[in-house]
Amino acid sequence: MDTIAGAVIDNDIYNRRSDIWWSGEGFASLLEHVSNPWRVPYFQRVIAGEMKIAADAKRVLDVGCGGGVLAEAFAAMGFEVTGIDPSEKSIAAATDHAAGKGLTIDYRAGSGDQLPFSDESFGIVCCCDVLEHIRNWEDVISEVARVLKPGGVFLYDTINRTKMSKLVFIKLGQEWKYTRFLPPNMHAWDMFIKPDELKRSLERHGLRNIDIKGTMPGGNPLKMLIAMLQFNRGRISAAEFGKRVGGSIEGPNIDVNYMGYAIK
Ligand X SMILES: C[S@@+](CC[C@H](N)C(=O)[O-])C[C@H]1O[C@@H](n2cnc3c(N)ncnc32)[C@H](O)[C@@H]1O
Q: Which residues bind ligand X (CB under 6 A)?
A: 11, 14, 31, 63-66, 69-70, 85-87, 90, 111-113, 128-130, 133-134
Within 10 A of 200 (CB to CB), how many other CB atoms are there?
A: 13
In whole angstroms, how close is the CB of 10 to ligand X at the nearest point? 10
The nearest distance, CB 209 to ligand X, in angstroms, is: 19
Q: Which is nearer to ligand X, 142 or 151 (CB)?
A: 142
Contact 154, 63 (CB under 8 A): no
Give min distance, CB of 52 to ligand X, in A. 27
Rounded Cα–Cα distance for residues 120 and 118 (Å)? 6
Which CB sits closer to ligand X, 111 or 162?
A: 111
Q: Can you list the pairs that 135-142 forms with residues at least 24 positions away whose Cβ atoms lie under 8 Å? A: 135/2, 135/4, 135/191, 137/193, 137/201, 138/201, 138/204, 138/205, 139/112, 139/113, 140/63, 140/112, 140/113, 141/201, 141/202, 141/205, 141/207, 142/113, 142/205
- Is 182 or 228 the residue whose CB approaches ligand X more closely? 182
Nearest to ligand X of 128, 172 (CB atom): 128
Nearer to ligand X, 68 or 123 (CB): 68
Query: Judged by CB, which is closer to ligand X: 130, or 224?
Result: 130
Question: 208 has which bridge partners?
Answer: 263
CA distance 164 to 247: 19
Query: By the 8 A CB rule, do 144 and 264 touch?
Result: no
Minimum CB distance to ligand X, residue 55 (Å) = 26
Closest separation in Å from C-beta 106 to ligand X? 16
User: What one-letter code names the amino acid at 38?
Assistant: W
The least distance separating ligand X from the CB of residue 175, rounded to whole angstroms, comes to 18
CA separation for the pair 263, 261 (Å, rounded): 7
